[in-house]
Structure 1
Amino acid sequence: MPGVYRYFDVASTVLYVGKARNLKRRVASYFQKDHGGTRIGHMIGRIARLETTVVRTEAEALLLENNLIKTLNPKFNILFRDDKSYPYLRLVSHPFPRVAYYRGAVDRKHKYFGPYPGAWAVKETIQLIQKVFKLRTCEDTVFANRSRPCLLYQIQRCSGPCVGLVSAPDYARDVSDAERFLLGDHETVMTELQTSMMKHADALEFERAAEYRNRISALSRVLHQQAMDESSLSARDKDVDILAVKLQGGRACVNLAMVRGGRHLGDRAYFPTHVEDATAIVGGLEVDDDAVAEPVEPAVQVLEAFIAQHYIGSAPPPQWVTSHAVSRSLVEALSQQTGMKIAVQSNPREQRRIWLEMCEKGADLALGRLLAEEGSQRERTRALADAIDLVPDDLDTLRIECFDISHTAGEATQASCVVYEGHKMQSAQYRRFNITGIIGGDDYAAMRQVLTRRYSRFGVAPVVAQEVSQDVAADAQSDPLTGAPLAAESTGSEEPLVDAALDEPAVAADSEPEAPAAKRSSSARLPDLVLVDGGRGQVSMAREVFRSLGLDISRIVGVEKGEGRKVGLEELVFADGREKLTLPADSAALMLVAQIRDEAHRFAITGMRAKRASVRTGSGSSKLEEIPGIGAKKRAKLLQRFGGVRGVGAASVEELMAVDGISRTLAEEIYRALH
């Protein structure tokens, strides 16, 4: 009876998700012997309840298991960040198609090539397409309104279709050649370019022949730079994924290299979490359903976890090359799910061997770089703890929160809170606070408000928090980035916002005091250290807040700018009365403080600018988006015509009708929505 099982602790937090061909035997195998103080024994000691789901086949169990792993993020499973946002090269549908960089969901309207491992690979390919095939890259609106060729035509990167300098049949032929090149049909493209060159030379059209000669030369250089023998490539080598895994120092790296159209496009490294715990759990099981399980290498476990989590729900290429042999049942399950037969080779020869060696070298370098960075950050954390006499229970769980206030001449005041934990910045826990009910430019009052709202739930004197919340409880401001209304908490409007400069979005943490423990994030823990960007004044304000809440003031440290406000001359100001601390400019502790302080400042600045822009343009932008019949193009035309949302709101129905695509019915709807 195949299925999936899930273990939970007393707080209903999922510990582990697994699959089995025989659920009863697999679950029983966890409890048939004493695992002692091992990792599997530690997990078993925390199990409070079990849930199972029965499925029809082992393939269904595999798919369900990895979907649950990605959704629940269990502590004892190998987890990869779910990032499939690969960029593509897009040929936009048009009588004169343009080539463009694209990231997002694909559709049937346009043609897509890829995916590519990174933005640089797409942009490099676009530059090649411009050099060899001279396809346009300008937007359709620019193309439709050109009266003379642009600079790209002058530097021979475009054939000038916008002003009729190339005929439609000739441009279509260039598009066709570009498509075949992107699909890997290099030889045919080269042959046709050479034929065209000789044709113009025979007709004594030497300038045109020279153009084709230059195209052939550019294309030849690119193909040569791929470091491969084109004659050794077979048809099955056109689209291949190469995967190599490397383990070291308790960390793992899976490096994914992509070959599309016979061209090696580069690679991307992935670093899973919970590697040691997860591999120990699997290695600790002796019974696997029907027979004694053969030991599975940790590297194979990591690689199989990546394949299952990465390729489920996506369209993988038909050929894979892997550094380790993976389970046949895993490949068969993915083949059934994608409807395409996938061939996997773990001991390749010739060109594939070269690709695999390159991928393994990339994994080795990426993991070495990660370990060096983590080691450096760990040393910085230790140096800071030693410098300020901080004695945490566990240095690896040391939590630092840093606050900064940002505004422009008192306008759009916001406070930011960034989090450093586990020797790295935790961007998913960043928070911004709208500051209201204060005199513009009063940074001390802003600091008082944000600290009270942040830490009142930990205090023993909630009355103060209630007094402050009276000024801000009615804060019905909107998200400065999305325009959506913010839900006010009992202590104000602490707002989790998405920051475009971050690799990960800021995810909301349940901050209600009575929330179940399973739903509360690590932000529910009082930090070991609270940094405030400022000197004695800000530290004094923070000390008052902490004392009113009954919290330990020794946690507060101010980062005061030194003489001339020069970087590297900062001093640390302590709320508990200790003397100022001046650290050497090359101090690892000062480097960490500066890193956290600068991140708080950057996060505050981006939020303040977005809020200020929202205030100045009015609140109607989100209303425009909500009007049926107003898409991105019509909204852009309205904003361009009237100079912003306020201009649209001031326009009459007749003026709105003057905009292309706006009918009377729609104009009346817009007018009603904005009034």
Structure 2
Amino acid sequence: MTKDEDGKRLERLKRIVLALPESPGCYQYFDGEGTIIYVGKAKNLKRRVSSYFNKTVQTRKTQILVSKIQDINYVVVPTDEDALLLENNLIKKYKPRYNILLKDDKTYPSVCVTNEEFPRVFKTRKIFPGVGTYYGPFSHAGTLNNMLELINRIYPLRRCRFTMSSQQIENCKFKACLEYHIKNCKAPCVGLQSKEEYMESVAEVKEILKGNTRKVCEKLLQRMNALAEEMRFEEAQELKRKYDLALDFCEKSEVIAPYEHNIDVFSIADDEKSAFINYLHVTNGCINQAFTFEYAKRMDEVPEDLLALGIVEMRERYHSDSKEIIVPFPIEVELKDVTITVPQRGDKKHLLDLSLANVRQYKFDKAKQAEKLNPEQRATNLLKELQTKLKLDRLPIHIECFDNSNIQGAEAVAGCVVFKKAKPAKSEYRKYIIKTVEGPDDYASMAEVVYRRYKRLMDEAGELPSLIIADGGKGQMGIIKHVVEDELQLQIPIAGLAKDGKHRTSELLTYQDGQIVTVGVEIKSALFQFLTRIQDEVHRYAIQFHRDKRSKAQVASELDTIKGVGAATKTALLKQFKSVKRIREASEDAIAEVVGKAKARIIKEAL
């Protein structure tokens, strides 16, 4: 598309925007093929859609989306709640390319209690309207299986698929099957269990499936005590067994508070690509369902919008009719007869904290899993985080860090370590002996080393780093900036690692608008550990070089001053004669046997 054609396209779209109503509704963007590429909701359609064409606030993702739009359609609805529901339905129906996508779209199992005269209870992944009442779905199959096992042990309902009626039972149409003989069923099919008793068991099963296990426990306890008072001890003992099973199951659920109404709890955590939403369903103070879903981001969605959409999606999927929703921050959504709460303390805050802990753990586990599948992903994530913190134009794949080492200016040296893709590139480490500085002057030494390093790379057309890190904080940052930008005319981002009073890395520094500012990095974060590793490595490298140089100076001997005697010759002589004194006392022939006649003559003359 030419520039003129694109200009005409934008003018046409802006005319459509000007005609939009200032009402709640949903808008749809179409590409050149008539395919819906984005669906959104708005309290004010005109204001929301016009924001996409405001170049001063466009992000890169928004620019890409706008470049694909060829037409705009909209649907006006009465309320903001209707807009949210419609948006959710349109996204599920059309799956627009640039909308968030619920990645976990698998079908979870539910429990069906049939509408038959003698209802059956079974697990299913398919929903058939009119067959019965469905409970769930349940995201954790283990939890569901434990619940069904409890139900089967307390209430041995029939499992057969016969179409059973009271008339057929009276006419003796059935025979007791194996399930009766192994005590998994009380055989209502042959009249050994009355319909009234059977339906009473079904009613209590429904209470358990609703999460009202404590209510069932109370009923069992009352009936057990009544039977005991009537001296019907065998029946009371059977009820006690059921009561103990139900109580044990109930105690395994986390009891938050004795609320008499149901509560939905939602929380969110996100990164660049995904949002993770946790949903806890609380019934009578017990958490009986917990889910966490991942949404793939397509645009620059904010957490408030993502959470609002997730609430509608999950409440619809899990058939929730809770009248209270707990969230971590205010959201612009109104649901009929539903109260939205942002708790600050108390039991509800405990519920929210539990949900937040779950969603953060889920996000952490997903990141760990991704790292195992792709070991380089962790390095990429670290560098992306560093890029964001320092507001860099490109990923800092190539990082270099400098450090000086000397004792009161003696044997002054410096080291440069290189990290590529967040890993040390040791073959590219460089050592420097300070040549132009006398005395202990760290700033002058740093200026010399940085100049030598990058002047040589420029002369040899070598690879320049994408980030330079100064080990010494603000002072060294200023020196490096002067050398790199003023003397060498290079544009390389510069950061610094400041230390606390105990010489430990304490904060990350960077330049913003010409001023050095502190960048917030959590001490326990992976990024902080990575930066500390760079600082420790350059410190180790410079210190080791200084120690080696100092050790070499301490073992220097008269042999080092003799022209033509190198390290190999010196080593051979000391190995044979043990000391310079013995070499001096040895004959020229004895020395010649080790290094040859020519060098022996030079050595004897020098010593």
TM-score by length of 2: 0.50
Is the 1:6–1:18 contact (alpha carbons within 8 Å) kept by the matching residues of 2? yes
* Count of residue correspondences: 351
Aligned match of 1:139 = 161
Aligned match of 1:266 = 289
Over 3 Å counting, the alpha-carbon distance change for 1:20 and 1:342 in structure 2 is: same
Q: Give 1:272 deviation, angstroms.
A: 0.9
Question: What is the CA–CA distance in structure 2 between the aligned matches of 1:14 and 1:300, rounded to whole Å?
Answer: 24
Q: Give 1:220 deviation, angstroms.
A: 1.2
212, 236, 255: which one aligns with 1:228: 255
> Matches of residues 2-401 of structure 1 in structure 2 within 5 Å?
2=23, 3-34=25-56, 38-81=60-103, 83=105, 85-105=107-127, 107-108=129-130, 110-140=132-162, 147-148=175-176, 150-151=178-179, 154=182, 156-183=183-210, 185-186=212-213, 188-228=215-255, 232-236=257-261, 239-248=262-271, 250-260=273-283, 262-274=285-297, 277-279=299-301, 298-311=302-315, 315-328=319-332, 330-332=333-335, 335=336, 341-347=337-343, 350-379=346-375
Q: Which amino acid aligns with 2:219?
A: E
Aligned match of 2:449 = none
**What 5-or-longer segments of structure 1 have no aligned partner?**
280-297, 336-340, 383-675
RMSD across aligned C-alpha pairs, in angstroms? 3.6
Q: Which amino acid aligns with 1:244?
A: S
Q: Give 1:223 deviation, angstroms.
A: 1.5
Question: What is the CA–CA distance in structure 1 between the aligned matches of 2:72 and 2:30, rounded to whole Å?
Answer: 6
Question: What is the CA–CA distance in structure 2 between the aligned matches of 1:354 and 1:153, rounded to whole Å?
Answer: 48
Q: Which amino acid aligns with 1:376?
A: K
Higher relative contact order (CA 8 A, sep 6+): 1
Question: What is the CA–CA distance in structure 2 between the aligned matches of 1:63 and 1:209, rounded to whole Å?
Answer: 51
Q: Give 1:31 deviation, angstroms.
A: 2.5
**What 5-or-longer segments of structure 2 have no aligned partner?**
1-20, 379-607
Q: Which amino acid aligns with 1:103?
A: R
Q: Which amino acid aligns with 2:84?
A: L
Is the 2:254–2:286 contact (alpha carbons within 8 Å) kept by the matching residues of 1? no
Q: Deviations over 1:1-32 (max 9, x none)?
A: 22433333444444432233443333333333
Q: Deviations over 1:601-628 (max 9, x none)?
A: xxxxxxxxxxxxxxxxxxxxxxxxxxxx
Over 3 Å counting, the alpha-carbon distance change for 1:379 and 1:264 in structure 2 is: same
Q: Deviations over 1:344-382 (max 9, x none)?
A: 223165444443333222212222222223333334999
Q: What SS is found at the alignment partner of 1:272?
A: strand
Max Rg structure: 2
Q: Give 1:211 deviation, angstroms.
A: 0.7
> Matches of residues 597-616 of structure 1 in structure 2 within 5 Å?
none
Q: Give 1:249 deviation, angstroms.
A: 5.4
TM-score by length of 1: 0.46
Q: Give 1:252 deviation, angstroms.
A: 1.9
Q: Deviations over 1:153-175 (max 9, x none)?
A: 53x54334344443333333323
Q: Deviations over 1:239-264 (max 9, x none)?
A: 33222211235432112222346542
Over 3 Å counting, the alpha-carbon distance change for 1:134 and 1:263 in structure 2 is: farther
Over 3 Å counting, the alpha-carbon distance change for 1:235 and 1:381 in structure 2 is: closer
Q: Which amino acid aligns with 1:224?
A: E
Over 3 Å counting, the alpha-carbon distance change for 1:187 and 1:227 in structure 2 is: closer
Question: What is the CA–CA distance in structure 1 between the aligned matches of 2:58 and 2:208, rounded to whole Å?
Answer: 60
Q: Which amino acid aligns with 2:178?
A: C
Is the 1:77–1:278 contact (alpha carbons within 8 Å) kept by the matching residues of 2? no
Over 3 Å counting, the alpha-carbon distance change for 1:109 and 1:54 in structure 2 is: closer
Question: What is the CA–CA distance in structure 1 between the aligned matches of 2:358 and 2:45, rounded to whole Å?
Answer: 39
Question: What is the CA–CA distance in structure 2 between the aligned matches of 1:5 and 1:35, rounded to whole Å?
Answer: 20
